[in-house]
Structure 1
């Protein structure tokens, strides 16, 4: 169940030393529909398959008019069916929203359909607001503190029952399948848990950059080898937008800045077209908050982005990067990922 890569031990690691992957939030644009978004998701995944990306992950969010991947397992099946090589998975499934048995069956089905290509990334956040969480769980449900118990239950469904076991509830498909489980997080909780369990860890530095280095330290210091993984394996999430010039990339990035600005104002909506000047939309305090959340982002020309990502790699010792790009125009988003693939020498 271990990832298929171990980072080079060069003193000055290069981008070409590690895999690069994609986290797709399946953006619905102001002029588009969910159907458009899902078509674009498959198109991007098919290009990523050709360009040498390692994984293509989709995220579970609910009650978000700008995100089309709420039925995450269904979209994973759609993407896996339309690609041939790239691993496809969740970044992540929010386990408190679901019965562990249902997730075991869903991902057991996906692994049975697309053997050796499915990843199960798990988070403990709701991926939604409180009212939506209650609608999903039909009541107060879990606050995430029982995540370790739910995770243990889920993992047990993948293990064949011992000889003579009286186990009555089994995940079919699922039982006996080798599906890599990742823990996702934006704080120290999942970092410590994934380390103790010997699982690969993915940190959401694309929206929680201030906790990245402490979380990686916790994960590596707490790591215990397991059947899944012999040594720590950390993937970091980075918001990356690449264009032919710094100016164009910065303009494209105003779409994701608007999206986060609306979130801190308590609004949700589709992804908005880029603007020439964000200062007409935010005040000084809002600008500082948004910019702090994107302090780990890499936006610019290939040369600019390469320098930023190499600095991140040197600082974190990441084993893999997973990149998100909330770009309004689909062709510009494809171009960004194409330039990035060339940067990692994957294309």
Structure 2
């Protein structure tokens, strides 16, 4: 059976604060663990009032401390924002604290705007060094050599598994060249999903970490007891995307009865294009939609985004998704 995993957005809502969002993320991960999910990832975002995962490695430690077996990781660390040595130290520490449970997905985008890039004292040109930075990071996780002068303590020897994340063909080519698992962000960038998967699989070169291609794809899934209930819950995510395009970025909003009263025709077109890879509905609707997605893509693992406003409703969504796929 295709593995199910979760992307945790650590959303701050109009009814919560960042502390509550972080604790809800940990609670969701524990619930996902009981439901049989394979891993839960958090992503690095900066200068976004409604997302509390900027200090990604700390968030991962918080989630891992509240779980026992589920893998926890970054989906991803935006490597151009950091020195590979520092990321190796951080994730090597996580690997020592939670052995065999830490993943490190790497992205080339900054995950923020130009103002935040300047605040981080990073050059926009840093993305051009991404392939070299991935190799450097990988080397820091390998066992240290006898004459090695610079060692990432305590990362050396942890062999933290790396993933390449992407929303274009570049990441697919890089993951294939380096022999690493590949995760495509089709939950917000669906257009190049199938071409990228084909490039990754056809060009894959085996490595010490991976002997054959392993592909994951993101998809938005919101489940409730009825299609109508799920569609209403989905308006929270739809409003978030509309706000993104209009410059109204802020806290996550509660669902509404009629999304057509909220967004303009232009915002709707943009949002629905980005949310094209979505399944919203009852458990039966979700099962059929996910099975169709898996059949179409042939992915080894599905990374689910279940962006539901109220915490208990989100727990139910995650549980219903897992139950639907076990049938």
Q: Quick check: TM above 0.5?
A: yes
The question of 1:154 aligning with 2:142 is answered: no
Question: What displacement does 1:142 show?
Answer: 3.4
Superposed counterparts of 1:285-324, under 5 Å:
285-324=266-305
SS of alignment partner, residue 20 of structure 1:
strand
Are 2:104 and 2:162, in contact at CA under 8 Å, matched by a contact in 1? yes
SS of alignment partner, residue 342 of structure 1:
helix
Cα distance in 2 between the residues matched to 1:217 and 1:239:
22
For the aligned residues, what is the CA RMSD? 1.1
Deviation readout 1:143-188 (Å, 9 max, x if unpaired):
412100111111111122334x3x3211010001121100100001
SS of alignment partner, residue 140 of structure 2:
helix
Alignment correspondent of 2:65: 81
Cα distance in 1 between the residues matched to 2:77 and 2:126:
15
Q: How many residues align?
A: 327
Q: Pick the aligned partner of 1:238 from 180, 198, 219.
A: 219
The question of 1:180 aligning with 2:161 is answered: yes
Alignment correspondent of 2:229: 248
Alignment correspondent of 1:278: 259
Unaligned runs of 5+ in 1: 1-16
Deviation readout 1:219-276 (Å, 9 max, x if unpaired):
1111001111111000011111000011110100000000010101123101001111
Alignment correspondent of 1:258: 239
SS of alignment partner, residue 121 of structure 1:
strand
Superposed counterparts of 1:112-123, under 5 Å:
112-123=96-107
Question: What displacement does 1:213 show?
Answer: 0.3
Question: What displacement does 1:50 show?
Answer: 1.1
Deviation readout 1:72-127 (Å, 9 max, x if unpaired):
10010011111101000000000001110000000000000110000011101101
Cα distance in 2 between the residues matched to 1:140 and 1:42:
33
Q: Pick the aligned partner of 1:93 from 64, 77, 99.
A: 77
Cα distance in 1 between the residues matched to 2:219 and 2:300:
13
Alignment correspondent of 1:129: 113
Question: What displacement does 1:278 show?
Answer: 1.3
Which TM-score applies when normalising by structure 2? 0.98
Question: What displacement does 1:18 show?
Answer: 1.2
